[in-house]
């Protein structure tokens, strides 16, 4: 799978405001995909990146942390806002199914709804478990698979953000 180059999106933030990638121009972006009903991977990633951003200190002020849902049917702006209240450094982004699918294509991310009677709503959404670093000019810089150690992510972010 090829890396994204200049990922574009048109979504709604967790306050109900329409946003595109242009609203974040001039700032670094750390982008994660996930959903509010995710039991383990998403909360772990959000806790992890919250800790990394805290560890970055003042450098974190240069970063917009974006959490794009892969479950737009359940993740309304209000649901995202409530969920992300535990992760205050993140902006939640949602939209229509078509808008989310477009954003996933732009980032080369994957998600698929799978029927599962054990899950809330009767389904789960396996998805790409990595984060993407986007430059202030909107260009893809790198990505961090979920298994990348925190220290490595923090160190690599410091190098990019300090440049």
38 is in an annotated binding site: yes
Task: Write out the two tokens for 97.
Answer: 């199914």
Q: Which residues contact 87 (CB under 8 A, 6 or more apart)?
A: 46, 47, 50, 67
37 is in an annotated binding site: no
3-state class (DSSP) for residue 147: coil
Phi, psi of 29 (to 5 degrees): -125, 130
Q: What ranges make up the beta strands (E) of 7-148?
A: 10-13, 18-20, 28-34, 63-69, 90-94, 114-115, 123-124, 130-134, 140-145
Q: Which residues are annotated as a binding site for Cu cation?
A: 38, 42, 127
Q: Which residues are annotated as a binding site?
A: 38, 42, 127
């Amino acid at each position: 799978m090829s890396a994204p180059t200049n990922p574009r999106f048109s979504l709604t933030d967790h306050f109900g405001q329409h946003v595109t990638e242009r609203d974040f121009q001039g700032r670094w972006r750390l982008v994660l995909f996930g959903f509010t009903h995710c039991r383990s991977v998403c909360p772990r990633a959000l806790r992890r990146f919250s800790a990394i951003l805290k560890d970055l200190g003042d450098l974190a002020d240069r970063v917009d942390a974006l959490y794009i849902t892969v479950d737009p049917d359940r993740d309304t702006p209000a649901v995202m806002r409530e969920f992300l209240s535990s992760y205050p450094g993140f902006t939640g982004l949602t939209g229509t199914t078509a808008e989310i699918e477009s954003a996933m294509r732009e980032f080369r991310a994957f998600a698929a709804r799978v029927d599962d009677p054990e899950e809330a709503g009767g389904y789960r959404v396996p998805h790409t478990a990595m984060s993407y670093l986007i430059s202030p000019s909107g260009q893809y810089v790198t990505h961090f698979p979920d298994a990348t150690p925190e220290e490595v992510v923090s160190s690599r972010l410091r190098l990019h953000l300090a440049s």
